[in-house]
């Protein structure tokens, strides 16, 4: 959900089996976020790690299985990002975190090339690949669980309306973010940008019960 710093390629050093697997995943999440599943090449992933392409398949079995593992990693990174943002720049305030996530332009940046939002949007369209479809569902549920816990924390702190169902609010927020590609495809640039910001503000008000001024910039 938060806008991660650009993912950087791993260093090429002699690695243990576990570290090599982790390095392959680090390279794969970068390649797939930049190029998508279909255009992302396992040969490029191998080259970024400094191993041969067969080593990638020895560790993961298939490109689809590698992508599924990438989605599991992406879910954990999103969850970790949310916690870091909450306790860091947001000072423990769930309402401030929502302002940050839903600030003008932020959802667009989350879906930029190389960002985790682009990776997850790509995965949503790969339903014909059972391992990927299962991993995408698992990834989405884990992120929803994290958002549910955050909204419940905000409700207990009085930042979120007492009558808001945290699980329903989490899925509303996640659905808004996940439908970004639909809006990007259906609407022209200027109209979509304006609508994107209005929808983000509407979502923020829904979740916080705040009918005041717009969210602050990111």
pLDDT digits (tens, 9 = 90+) for 71-83: 999 999 999 999 9
pLDDT tens digits, residue range 146-189?
999 999 999 999 999 999 999 999 999 999 999 988 888 888 77
E-assigned strand segments in the chain:
none
Task: For residues 55 and 83, state if they share a domain.
Answer: no
Task: For residues 48 and 126, state if they share a domain.
Answer: no
Task: For residues 170 and 97, state if they share a domain.
Answer: yes
In terms of Cα–Cα distance, which of 43, 16, 13, 48 is closest to 30?
48
Q: Is 142 a member of any domain? A: yes
pLDDT at 4: 58
Token pair in block for residue 114: 């190389």
Distance, in Å, from the CA atom of 83 to the CA atom of 89, rounded to the nearest integer, reads 11
Q: How many domains, the chain?
A: 2
Task: For residues 56 and 135, state if they share a domain.
Answer: no
Task: For residues 130 and 155, state if they share a domain.
Answer: yes
pLDDT at 189: 74
- Range of the structural domain that residue 197 is part of: 67-208
Task: For residues 185 and 83, state if they share a domain.
Answer: yes
First to last CA, the chain: 13
Task: For residues 55 and 74, state if they share a domain.
Answer: no
CATH of the domain at 78: 1.10.357.10
pLDDT tens digits, residue range 86-112?
999 899 999 999 999 999 888 888 888
Q: Is 214 a member of any domain? A: no
State how far Cα 11 lies from the chain centre: 24
């Amino acid at each position: 959900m938060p806008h991660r710093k650009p993912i950087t390629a791993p260093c090429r050093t002699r690695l243990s089996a576990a570290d090599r697997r982790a390095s392959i995943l680090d390279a794969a999440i970068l390649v797939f976020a930049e190029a998508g599943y279909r255009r992302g090449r396992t040969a490029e992933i191998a080259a970024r790690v400094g191993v041969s392409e067969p080593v990638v398949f020895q560790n993961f079995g298939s490109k689809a299985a590698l992508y599924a593992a990438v989605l599991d990693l992406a879910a954990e990174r999103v969850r970790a990002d949310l916690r870091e943002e909450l306790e860091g720049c947001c000072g423990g305030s769930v309402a401030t975190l929502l302002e940050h996530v839903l600030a003008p332009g932020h959802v667009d940046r989350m879906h930029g090339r190389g960002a985790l939002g682009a990776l997850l949007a790509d995965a949503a369209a790969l339903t014909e690949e059972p391992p990927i479809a299962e991993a995408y569902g698992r990834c989405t549920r884990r992120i929803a669980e994290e958002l549910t816990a955050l909204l419940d924390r905000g409700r207990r702190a009085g930042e979120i309306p007492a009558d808001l169902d945290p699980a329903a609010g989490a899925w509303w927020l996640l659905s808004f973010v996940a439908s970004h590609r639909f809006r990007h495809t259906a609407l022209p640039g200027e109209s979509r940008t304006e609508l994107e910001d209005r929808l983000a503000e509407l979502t923020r008000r829904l979740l916080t019960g705040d009918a005041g001024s717009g969210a602050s910039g990111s």
